[in-house]
Each structure stands twice: as C-alpha cells, then as structure tokens.
Amino acid sequence: MERISFIDLGSNSVRFVISEISSAGSYSLIYQEKESIRLSENMWGENKLTEEAMSRAIRSLKAFAHMAEAMESNKTYAVATAAVRLAKNGDDFIARVRKKTGFNLHCISGEEEARLGFLGVINTVDLEDFVIFDLGGASTEVTLVNNRQPVKSVSLPIGALTLTGNFQKGDEMGEKEYEKMVNAIQDILNDNKWLHDLKLPLLGIGGTARNIAKMDQRRINYPVTRLHNYEVPRERFHDIVEMVKDKPLAQRKKIPGLSSERADIIVAGLAIVEELINYLDADRLVVGGCGLREGLFYDYYGQEYMGGNPIINDILIHSAENVLLGINKRELIHGKYVSQLANTLFEQMEPMHGFGERFQKLLTVSALLHDIGKKVNYYNHARHGAYVLINSNLYGISHVEQALCGFIVMNSHGLLTKEYRNFIYGQLMTGEDKSVGQKLSAILALAEALDESHEQFVTSLATTIKENQIIITAWIRKDCDTSVANAAVEKAVKIFKKEFKKQLVVQWKESL
Amino acid sequence: MERISFIDLGSNSVRFVISEISSAGSYSLIYQEKESIRLSENMWGENKLTEEAMSRAIRSLKAFAHMAEAMESNKTYAVATAAVRLAKNGDDFIARVRKKTGFNLHCISGEEEARLGFLGVINTVDLEDFVIFDLGGASTEVTLVNNRQPVKSVSLPIGALTLTGNFQKGDEMGEKEYEKMVNAIQDILNDNKWLHDLKLPLLGIGGTARNIAKMDQRRINYPVTRLHNYEVPRERFHDIVEMVKDKPLAQRKKIPGLSSERADIIVAGLAIVEELINYLDADRLVVGGCGLREGLFYDYYGQEYMGGNPIINDILIHSAENVLLGINKRELIHGKYVSQLANTLFEQMEPMHGFGERFQKLLTVSALLHDIGKKVNYYNHARHGAYVLINSNLYGISHVEQALCGFIVMNSHGLLTKEYRNFIYGQLMTGEDKSVGQKLSAILALAEALDESHEQFVTSLATTIKENQIIITAWIRKDCDTSVANAAVEKAVKIFKKEFKKQLVVQWKESL
C-alpha cells in the first residue's frame, strides 16, 4: 500500500489530493482540498507574481505538506501551470516553495499540461475521436484526439478573464463589444484551420464547462447532480448562451446553476465555447469531471503499475474492477466468476433477447459488482449495491447506462415498487430501458444462483432454447454438492418465467 | 476472525445465517437463507413429525451444512423449537439430523426460546419496560421486561393457525365465530392476571407483527420500507383490525402490505394482538425485526466477547461503534476522537442551543460515523455517509432519529437543495427536526475541522459565549502545526454565522 499526493498549482486555485494504491493495485482518493489563492492576481503588468500572491500560495502549500505527512503520504507530485510559467520570477517562487515546504514544484509546459489533461480525460471518458478544451482565465488549451491518442494541441491566447478585461468597458458588455469579442475569437480560430469542420464532439474540462452543465441540468430538471460525462446538445447549449448573454450581471448571478463568482466572466467563457462548437461543427458538448489532477495520477499509475502505459485499455471494466478490488478477496473471486457465467449465458441466450455487445458489457459490470452492497448491509444488499455502483467512480459509462447497471443489480433479487420509486437514477431510464434491465437482471440472477455456494464449481455451460423451455446444462467439477445452488436456481426459475415466458431447467452434469 | 452459523428450525420455516466476527470484535451478517419446510404439517393428530416433513427439513439442513463449509464457518449453533419439542419422535429426528448433516440440533424449551427472543429484542430495541410477544402458529410467547431484564414469561396456547382451525368453520369466519374466538383469547388472558393493565408498550416479533407494520405503512404512505422499531399507535392498529376482519379472503389478499400467504390466518392473528393490547392497556405496538436468531448470536457474542454478559449496555453507541469498526483503523481513531470533540462542544455550547441529552447522543453517533461514506466514494462522502448510516444496523434509535443522524452527517459539509430532496428519510423529519439538525451539523463541522489533519492534537477545549461571538480555546500538544485545521475552521466560521448568528473564533494554545 502506498499513498501519493498530487498538487496542481493554477493561476486561480491550488488543488491537493492524496490517493491510496493498495497492494492489489486498486486505488482510491482519500483526501482532497482546494484553496483559492489567486496566484496570478495583479501579475500581468510586470509579469511578476506579487509578494502577497506568493505568500498565499506558500501558506496553502505548507498546510498541504503538513497534511501529506499526517496522512503518511511519502511521495508528492506537484506541478505549476500558466501563472508560474509566464512569471519572470517563477524560478524564484519555485525555489521559495522548495525551501519553505520541501515540495519539488515542476513548472510544466503548455504541451505537458495538455498531455496530462488528456490523460485525465482519456482514462475517464469513453470517446475515441473528439476535441478537448480547457478554458482558463488567460488561455484555452485545445487538443485533438484521434483513436484515443492526442494528435495535436494548441494553447489559444483567449481566456474568460482576459477577454472580459479586453472587451468589457463598464460593468456590462454591450452588443458591439460582444461582436468585437466574437470577431477576435474567430480570428484566432481561423489561425487554426486544422480544427475547422472536424465534426467531432467537444469535451470540456474546468469550471466553465461544469457551469454550463449545471445550468443545463437546472433548465431541463435533470434528476441527479452528476456532472462528469454529462452531454449538452448543441441546440440546448445555444439556448443557454442566448439566455445568459444579454442579462445584466445582477440578473446573471441569479441564474440557477451558475456560480456567482463566475457570473462576471461567463459571457466571455460561453462565447469561446460557442465559437469553438461552430468552428468544429460539433453536435454536442460533453463535460469531463476529470482533468490535470487525474492525469497526474494516471501518469504515475501507468509508470508504476501498468508497465509505462498511462492509457487504460477498457476504462469501464478497469474502473469496475477497481471498485471490486476494494472488497475482500473472496467476494472478488465470486464477482469475477459470476460475471463470466453471466457473459456466457448472455451469449448463449442471444436468440431469446437479441441484445447487442454494449448490453453484454453493462451486464458484465453489473455482475462484477452485484454483491458490492454488502459493504453497507447484508440485508437489502441488492438495493445498496445499486446505490454504491451508481456512486462509485465508474468510467466509460453514460448516466443512463450507470442507472441501468444499478437497476440490474437492484432488480436481480426482486424489487418493491416503493424501492424503485425511491431510486432517483430510475428517472433517467425509459420504459424500454427498464424492460431490457429486467431481462438482464434475470440472467444475472441465474449466474448468481449457479455460484450461490461461492465454490466456482461450474466449468462450462450449454444452453438449448425451445419454444416453452430453456435448458441449461451446467458441467461441474466431480463430487460437488449442488443443493445450495439448486435452491437458488428455483428462484431464478420464477424470474425466467416472468421475463422470458419460458420454463428454465438446469441440468447438472459432472465433467469428465 | 471467525465465522459462526446459526440455525433456527421452527414449525413453518428454517432460517440459517452466517455471521462474521472480526479480530477487533466487530460483527456482520454475511449470509442468510430461509426455507419454508412446514415441519409441523400434519403432525398434530399423532403429535409426530411426518416422514415427508422430516425429509424436507433434512434436505434444507444438508444444504446449509454444505454452505457453512463452503463459507468456512466452523461453528454452528442450531436450535429447534415447538414442532420438535412437542413431537413424540423429536429425539429420533434430532438423531437423524446429526447423522445426515453433522449438526448438533438442540431442542430448546419454551423458556429458553423466550430468553433467546428476549436477547434478540433487548440488544436491538431501546425500551426498558415493555411486553414482548411472539405470535406463532400454535402458541404465543409473552415476556414481561422490566429494567431491561426478563421478569416473567408464558407460552399462551393460542396461535394464528390453531385459532383459525378451531373457530373458522367454512372459508370465512362469521361474526359469531369471531366473538367466540375473542372470548377464548380473553379466557386465556384472564388466567394471566400479571399481564393485566400493565400499561406498557407491546413489542411484537415474527411475521404477524411485521405484516401489521407493513399494512400500517401502506395506509399512512410511510416514505420508507423499514420495519424494525416501527411503531403503530393503538388507534391505528384498531383501524387495521376493523379494515381486515370483515373482508372475505379474496379481498384480504388484496390488502396493501398483507402477504397473501398470511391472508388466511391474519384475522386470528390480529385478534390475539388486539386482545393483548386491550388486556395490557398498551398505548402502542412496536415492531421488532430481530428475534430468536439474533438472540442466538448475542448469546454467543456475550459469552465469547463480553465476559458472559449477553445484554449490551448502550445499544446505540455499541451498534454505531460496530459499524465504525468495519472501516480502517485510522478512520476509527478519527471518528472516535471527533465524536469526543463534538460531545465537549455540545456541552460547552449548551446555553446557545439548549438541546438535551438525547440530541447529544445523536450527535455522538453522527460524529462517530461522519466519514463512513468514504467506503462508497470520497467525493460527496457526506451524502454517501448519510446513506450508509441510515442503512446500517443501528439499534436503539427511532426512524426519525436515524434520519436526523443522516441529515447531520450530510449537512455537515453543506447540502444542495436537490440532494436534500432526494433524501427519502428527510420526509420523516419536521421543519423543527431539520433546524435542530442544522445546528448539530455546525457543531460536527467544527469538531471535524479541529481534527482535519487526523492528528488528534487537541487536548482540551474551553468555550466562551458572548453576544455576537463564540470563542473556542483549543489547547493543543506542543509543536503542532494548526494550518490545515485552521483552513477547515474557516469553513466552520461561515456555518456558525448562519446557524448561531455568532462570529466563531478559535484560539490555539499550547498545553503545558
């Protein structure tokens, strides 16, 4: 087991996290803190960090150094971005940090920043070809991703703070000023023809993107508050721009979902995003909740635990196994085994349900994590499992898919109407989703039943589908006692009758 | 670590559980199964268990024996109650069980059954003086408890099955037959004058009591499905009797909350409970979710882990610590320490809030478990903590109190409106509860802040309350770094301003 700290010192705030990596290689966040230190405040005249700003930063970093020690984290990766990079006295500041806190602060280049942001995104969002933007105060980093590899990056010299400062004369931005700002953005985009007309989704990390998602969620009454992997279609994004841009500041501060500290610079931020969407001809904006900090983590994890490759191959299965690794070893073996059985049953039963590969994957995830609710309470562990699954860091899965996985787990033990009503994520699901979920639950219930005694004695399965019957032949190790599994199969029989209108028959046969 | 199995072989069903006890002494259920074996079916003519019934029982017990082995449980406590006790061939059956399954089945006396049921209740329900009943098919066990000790027990020869059989002639019970049945119950109660007019609450365990709770919950639209420690006031119970008793069976089967298998014998069951309530002059019926099986567990646990005493002194704190022991040691230390700090702050701030001892206890529980949500996800761990706390096996706490504890944890990090709306247990709370909870959250937030660095450096606290200010002097160990705690205290300052309309000032002083 080791604990590693990561620090991301930006122009506005500094973020500090401690991650724990278990001896089995599973990881989880165990501490995080963010301080608003405004490091770049008043630096742009002379391009020098002010004494006050440096003191604020060092005060926070000292506290983090202390916390790292108290939490027994003995490695720290600390990076500084634009403010330190651009400040003439950046090196002095780094030396002071080393002296006062012991941290070896790395001032990273724009390219390295884009690479780390990319790592945070690519390991947590399931897209192959897309464009990432990270909208900051003074610049916007843009990265083109093809086939999950970063192809090209640029740091555009437009940011929410600088544009507001340059184009807004009084308290509000007038119509003409707005037009001038848009022209300036377009001029800069036109210098980057490689971005033109890519027709790829645009993924945003950072505060502006998160605020857009929050405003959209409030407008459409989205039933949950999760931001990571939230999608805003281009049309709805445009509606938000229209709603925000002409409102005076006092009115903007009241917009549901918009944080009041961002209300002054949101108009410029939205303009940049809108012009990017137009220039790319993107159909939607996707919000990423992970960025530089997570990229720092995956960079380290790839180096130390994945043979140098920081890009995880299948992020959904990887993240599900990571959650599963947090429980005891016996449950881990059972979870993996049940997911194999469920996979085989899904394939053999394909003529009965006709579901495609994506649903197979969602069933795999549900089966891996089906017993995770025992961490909360043995009783009703299927319902608690749905809660834990939905609130775990699973990546590469949409909100509605995660709702579906929760539902599959919840429903595999039967579900009360009241329990379903209280399942908030159910509001994301259509009736069709629910009906698919019920069938997948039935397959999970059978897979669980086959390993009810946690002995992993089934060595292979064969399925024969008849008009009114489904016959599963389960080959098992010699001299196994199937009585416990049999009792569990009886419950699955009822579920199969209901979901597939067929009589389920399980035949046990000893392997040679 | 050890795993112990418990078996309760009743007249209708057999229940099997496996509990795990960690080396630290914390315990949790890891497996449970119930089979409907109808052991007493057709036995009453000759008072002999039938071959078929014994075979059914042995088939289930064999499966349990196998499961116990597969789950590496190496001790089993198995008891049989009325059916085996009263059967002439009970000893033969016990010998057969031993031969076929290896289980050493103990046929326990009615007194022992009452004692074990009492242990299940007294360690999970916070009442001092009350009457327990366990309504079975052929008898009803009644125990008077004074000062948390069982004072007197009786097995009344009236049960839901036998009364239905004796008084119901056709498919339905007529008015006259009902009256005769009530007279028979009253006659038997009149033979037990020590129960008369006790004016104590009546606590019921077993299926009839649980069904009453379910029917009541559906009638009043109770927002959650928990049954343990649910209270039905006498008036509402009476309404249920009136609703049920005159309905024909087909109609009864449709009553929301009533299980269809129990619909045939519920009229007799309700009559017994109603006459008990009247005879005792009880003001309410309390439903206990724990009984004989839990009693078996606490009997063992008391013997092995509590120096022979099977009655836990403070069940709420004990059960909260049991949940807390399930997490890692560092969090355990932090949780206990924060709960001490919160306790001290609560006492010193008494003039500001005026809350009594019970709220102090609820704050203690909330503080012990405030970080338990990290088991689910670090992000939003306060919200997850509320979920885990509410769904953990906490005993000695009412539903609304448990909701309040969840709310205190949830709110200690600030709470979004949408999050609160999705907090189902919040529906149990009044506006006043919520306002109390907010103040207790503020105290918890400050206690957490004082140990933000998890170093436990505060050695004592003193509080000075002024008109617009509250000054906390925190004595700390020598050479401690308070920077992390200070940053956290700043957030508590805002919460104090809002909740107590006072400026919070924390002064750190080094202890001598």
Q: Which residues of chain A neighbour B58 with C-beta distances below 8 Å?
A: none
Q: What percent of chain B has pLDDT over 70?
A: 100
CB contact under 8 A, A484 and B31: no
3-state secondary structure of A205: strand
CA closest to B29 among chain A residues: A378
Residue B461 has pLDDT above 80, yes or no: yes
How confident is residue A171, by pLDDT bands cut at 50, 70 and 90?
confident
| Structure tokens, A136 | 């900051």
State the helix-helix crossing angle for A483-500 and A431-450, rounded to 10 degrees: 160
CA closest to B379 among chain A residues: A29
Contact B438, B405 (CB under 8 A): no
* Integer Cα distance of B468 and B390 in angstroms: 36
CB contact under 8 A, B453 and A66: yes
Residue B500 has a pLDDT of 96
CB contact under 8 A, B377 and A387: no
CB contact under 8 A, A453 and B70: yes
CA closest to A389 among chain B residues: B376
Determine the average pLDDT of the residues in A290-298.
95
How confident is residue A185, by pLDDT bands cut at 50, 70 and 90?
very high
CB count, 10 Å around CB of B509?
12
Residue B379 has a pLDDT of 86
Here the ipTM equals: 0.83
CB contact under 8 A, B225 and A374: no
Out of A32, A63, A419, closest to residue B225 by CB: A419
* Integer Cα distance of A374 and A386 in angstroms: 11
Chain A: closest CA distance from residue B323 (Å): 9
Residue A323 has pLDDT above 90, yes or no: no
* Integer Cα distance of B34 and B15 in angstroms: 4
Helix (H) or strand (E) holding A504: strand A503-510
Q: Which residues of chain B neighbour A394 with C-beta distances below 8 Å?
A: none
CB contact under 8 A, A391 and B378: no
Determine the average pLDDT of the residues in A23-43.
89
CA closest to A68 among chain B residues: B453
Q: Could you give the C-alpha distances from B161 to A25, A181, A183, B215, B326, in angstroms and in order?
A: 57, 83, 85, 20, 42
Q: Which amino acid is present at A442?
A: A
Residue A457 has a pLDDT of 94
Chain B: closest CA distance from residue A356 (Å): 30
Residue A416 has pLDDT above 80, yes or no: no
pLDDT digits (tens, 9 = 90+) for B346-375: 999 999 999 999 999 999 999 999 999 988
Closest CA to A229 of A203, A255, A206, A257: A203
Out of A66, A379, A424, closest to residue B484 by CB: A66
CB contact under 8 A, B487 and A62: no
CB contact under 8 A, B29 and A378: yes
* Integer Cα distance of A58 and A64 in angstroms: 10
Q: Which residues of chain B neighbour A59 with C-beta distances below 8 Å?
A: 483
CB contact under 8 A, A481 and B32: no
pLDDT digits (tens, 9 = 90+) for B153-169: 999 999 998 899 899 88
Residue A89 has a pLDDT of 96
CA closest to A455 among chain B residues: B70
| Structure tokens, A363 | 């069933």
Contact A7, A27 (CB under 8 A): no
* Integer Cα distance of B462 and B475 in angstroms: 8
CA closest to A67 among chain B residues: B453
Residue A142 has pLDDT above 90, yes or no: yes
* Integer Cα distance of B358 and A232 in angstroms: 48
Out of B63, B384, B454, closest to residue A487 by CB: B63
Out of A60, A64, A70, closest to residue B454 by CB: A70
Q: What angle do CA B215, B217, B223 make, to 5 degrees?
A: 150
Residue A275 has pLDDT above 80, yes or no: yes
Q: What percent of chain A has pLDDT over 70?
A: 100
First-residue to last-residue Cα distance in chain A: 43
User: Strand A2-9 vs strand A13-21: parallel, antiparallel, or unpaired?
Assistant: antiparallel
* Integer Cα distance of A149 and A128 in angstroms: 8
Residue B45 has a pLDDT of 84
pLDDT digits (tens, 9 = 90+) for B240-254: 999 999 899 999 999
Q: Which residues of chain B neighbour A224 with C-beta distances below 8 Å?
A: 418, 422
Q: Which amino acid is present at B450?
A: L
CB contact under 8 A, B378 and A31: yes
CB count, 10 Å around CB of A281?
13
CB contact under 8 A, B66 and A418: no
Chain A: closest CA distance from residue B174 (Å): 34
Chain A: closest CA distance from residue B376 (Å): 6
Q: Which residues of chain A neighbour B406 with C-beta distances below 8 Å?
A: none
Q: Which amino acid is present at A32?
A: Q
Q: Which residues of chain A neighbour B18 with C-beta distances below 8 Å?
A: none
- Specify which residues A153 forms β-bridges with: A143
Out of B70, B453, B487, closest to residue A70 by CB: B453
Out of B33, B387, B453, closest to residue A67 by CB: B453
Average pLDDT, chain B: 93
CB contact under 8 A, A225 and B418: yes
Out of B35, B59, B388, closest to residue A376 by CB: B388
Residue A509 has a pLDDT of 95
First-residue to last-residue Cα distance in chain B: 42
Q: From the candidates A6, A377, A448, which should be mutated to test the interface with B, based on the most B CB atoms within 10 A?
A: A377
CB contact under 8 A, A59 and B483: yes
Residue A328 has pLDDT above 80, yes or no: no
CB contact under 8 A, A379 and B487: no
CB contact under 8 A, A66 and B380: no
CB contact under 8 A, B30 and A487: no
3-state secondary structure of A317: helix
CA closest to A375 among chain B residues: B375
Residue B476 neighbours by CB under 8 Å, 6+ apart: B457, B458, B459, B482, B508, B509, B510, B511
Q: Could you give the C-alpha distances from A410 to A432, B107, B475, in angstroms and in order?
A: 17, 38, 49
Of the ranges A101-105, A228-232, B22-26, which one carries the lowest mean pLDDT score?
Answer: B22-26
> DSSP string spanning B98-115?
HHHH---EEE--HHHHHH
Q: Which residues of chain A neighbour B371 with C-beta distances below 8 Å?
A: none
Residue B108 neighbours by CB under 8 Å, 6+ apart: B79, B80, B81, B85, B116
CB contact under 8 A, A388 and B374: no
How confident is residue A332, by pLDDT bands cut at 50, 70 and 90?
confident
Closest CA to A64 of A17, A108, A28: A17
Chain A: closest CA distance from residue B384 (Å): 8
Helix (H) or strand (E) holding B472: strand B469-476
How confident is residue B314, by pLDDT bands cut at 50, 70 and 90?
very high
Q: Which residues of chain A neighbour B67 with C-beta distances below 8 Å?
A: 453, 484
CB contact under 8 A, A62 and B483: yes
CA closest to A69 among chain B residues: B453
Out of A29, A63, A455, closest to residue B483 by CB: A63
Size of interface A-B (CB pairs under 8 A): 100
CB contact under 8 A, B454 and A487: no
Q: Which residues of A make CB contacts under 8 Å with B?
A: 28-33, 35, 59-60, 62-64, 66-67, 70-71, 223-225, 374-380, 384, 387-388, 391-393, 416, 418-419, 422, 424, 453-455, 481, 483-484, 486-487
Residue B43 has a pLDDT of 87
Q: Which residues of chain A neighbour B379 with C-beta distances below 8 Å?
A: 29, 32, 393
Phi, psi (degrees; rounded to nearest 5) at A35: -125, 140
CA closest to A327 among chain B residues: B375
Q: Could you give the C-alpha distances from B49 to A118, B83, B91, in angstroms and in order?
A: 71, 8, 11
Q: Which residues of chain B neighbour A375 with C-beta distances below 8 Å?
A: 375-376
